[in-house]
Structure 1
């Protein structure tokens, strides 16, 4: 069986793709599959090698443009379509699994031309116009939020949740704390801004870092492109107890240790990130990206905050000391932490990758 995977070259797309890839491989014997071949079509990015260092999934890249001006984007779209057409023809898969994004559009369209069955997965609570366009070519559409079914009104739709990688569950808290040289005397806060980091969250944390380090230890993923700048700023601040601050550009597989070691997570609200936060059962403070398409991060965060698993803070008027006060209030109320942990675990969908894998195999057969 040949399976073509497609999605953007960001952790928010590639991590769920890897989770589905692993789930399909684990079902090979159960599904009586004689052979399995995979190929990924994605966009160019420095994250490709970072993320696929161990999985070794063969991949091809195509040229895409995210420009909103149709006259500027059209030439790139034509190039991308013919690149996708060639890659799909050469591999000729039995099925295509799409995680959405700009790069998936020409791949899905090429697959439709060759009459290859397509399954699309929608991570967010509200689909973008681009994803809605792809749905019309899909045989099945998997969704991450059961409450979103009414938005689709289609028999194609089935609920799975958002697939997360299995390795994030396999870490012991004490061992994880030792790996970061963390003390048991202070709670641990994990700060993330997605795979590329978030400059606004970085700024907020840096401004209250001296106050935070009085009571907490910080693990901070600032983004590859922001690492040198953040490190330089922090070093010049001459903070007394900087030993409690652990800065990283990008975690790779150490994200599992970070999840296990922390007591609270402050993060953006991308679908993959919040799905992993719920899967590991951690309370969180979510700061959605204000410019995200269709306010999808805000809608994701609202879903989890309504269920009691997270605190939602709007980015637009958020001040550093407001964030500090929210964090302090959470840790002052031990019962609240327990309730947030319980709510997070109830929202998790640990079998999402397997459900999608089963549907891919069933449809391809």
Structure 2
């Protein structure tokens, strides 16, 4: 039987592309196992999808000073030993890594076992984990064509972003029923990422009285970030996080307000949803979301509102602008197709197995 080990974690964005590939591979009789951290967000997501999962030790890779930086290298070393043993036990034909700090021990463990390693890099510039892992990789798949300039040219392959098939099967009517919304007003969906976004939450709630005059709003605000005083507000629904219902909710949405994580914005692009992107600032990140958002804006897919400029009035202006120009955004999005991405990646995995 064909065998593959997946890894990636630390955020939902390091898991969802794997979940796009796994069902396709299972349909082709691949045996799938997932290696992640012992208590990261990926554990709940993967186990919730009924995929065999094993947790290993992992230490976070930081670009800034922290006392944990002295302890975490030992966790990474322990993780390498654990991953090496697991890969030796499962004997996979290939390992597929989506990045995140837990992926580094798994990639090294695979390389030590002489198992081909395939990486997927979502952003224009590689994250720290993939910067370390790429030297052990057979091939590196990239979402943005611009990423090719930042990676070894003999390894990099432009494929686009793997999109979960179930995301394309949402029903607007089911989403409206779930939300308790009507078709009389457009629907805005606000997504701050799997962990939420404090600045976005605050701006949306400040603008809510004005927004609800013309729109209905579904707000995915992150764990622990619900505002109980807003429960029951007509035309407004808030959730910490939704999973199985997301395809239907997205099908019901007319406009998206979101961070600029690569996986999410390519999902919105595939669904042809006009977007307002609010990338993480450089003060809070390495700037990857800013590059993602700028690339989308250049293609005419979105309007960018930088976090430094985010407040009630600028958010309302952005919503008005995107709603007014929504047909132009949708027309630009029609140029993009994600159909070939999954097949191309799976083709490389099949070839590696036969060698």
Q: TM-score, length-normalised on structure 2?
A: 0.92
CA deviation after TM superposition for structure 1 residue 209, in Å: 1.0
Q: Is the 8 A contact 1:24 1:354 kept in 2?
A: no
> Which residue is 2:230 aligned to?
234
CA deviation after TM superposition for structure 1 residue 72, in Å: 3.3
Distance change >3 Å, CA 276–CA 52, structure 1 → 2: farther
Post-superposition Cα deviations, 1:231-272, rounded to whole Å, max 9, x if no partner, equal 22435xxxxx82200111111021101211011000011111
> Which residue is 2:133 aligned to?
134
Q: 2:344 aligns with which of 347, 351, 355?
A: 355
Post-superposition Cα deviations, 1:50-107, rounded to whole Å, max 9, x if no partner, equal 4542x31101112222253442322222222222222222212111001011111111
> Which residue is 2:236 aligned to?
245
CA distance, structure 2, for counterparts of residue 292 and residue 359 of structure 1: 35
> Which residue is 1:314 aligned to?
306
Q: Is the 8 A contact 2:10 2:101 kept in 1?
A: no
CA deviation after TM superposition for structure 1 residue 343, in Å: 2.1
> Which residue is 1:57 aligned to?
51
CA distance, structure 1, for counterparts of residue 120 and residue 284 of structure 2: 18
CA deviation after TM superposition for structure 1 residue 47, in Å: 5.3
CA distance, structure 1, for counterparts of residue 42 and residue 114 of structure 2: 31
| Unmatched tracts of structure 1, length 5 or more | 29-34, 236-240
CA deviation after TM superposition for structure 1 residue 177, in Å: 1.9
CA distance, structure 2, for counterparts of residue 182 and residue 348 of structure 1: 30
Q: Is the 8 A contact 2:276 2:322 kept in 1?
A: no
SS at match of 1:196: coil
CA distance, structure 1, for counterparts of residue 122 and residue 70 of structure 2: 29
CA distance, structure 1, for counterparts of residue 334 and residue 304 of structure 2: 18
> Which residue is 1:213 aligned to?
212
Q: Is the 8 A contact 1:128 1:293 kept in 2?
A: no
CA distance, structure 1, for counterparts of residue 280 and residue 168 of structure 2: 27
CA distance, structure 2, for counterparts of residue 306 and residue 51 of structure 1: 35
CA deviation after TM superposition for structure 1 residue 307, in Å: 0.8
- Which has the bigger relative contact order, CA under 8 A and spacing at least 6? 1
Q: Is the 8 A contact 2:9 2:40 kept in 1?
A: no
Q: Tell which deviates more after alignment, 66-75 or 297-306.
A: 66-75
CA distance, structure 2, for counterparts of residue 209 and residue 145 of structure 1: 34
User: Aligned residues, how many?
Assistant: 346
Equivalences for residues 247-326 of structure 1 within 5 A? 247-290=238-281, 291=283, 293-326=285-318
| Unmatched tracts of structure 2, length 5 or more | none
> Which residue is 2:104 aligned to?
105
Q: Is the 8 A contact 2:303 2:322 kept in 1?
A: no
Q: Is the 8 A contact 2:186 2:254 kept in 1?
A: yes
SS at match of 2:310: coil
Matched, 1:66 2:66: no
CA distance, structure 2, for counterparts of residue 140 and residue 330 of structure 1: 38
Q: Is the 8 A contact 1:265 1:283 kept in 2?
A: yes
Post-superposition Cα deviations, 1:193-221, rounded to whole Å, max 9, x if no partner, equal 11121111111111111111111100111
Q: 1:330 aligns with which of 315, 322, 326?
A: 322
Post-superposition Cα deviations, 1:298-351, rounded to whole Å, max 9, x if no partner, equal 1111111111110111112321211011102322x2xx2111112234234233
Distance change >3 Å, CA 51–CA 214, structure 1 → 2: farther
Q: 2:328 aligns with which of 339, 346, 349?
A: 339
> Which residue is 1:14 aligned to?
15
> Which residue is 2:142 aligned to?
143
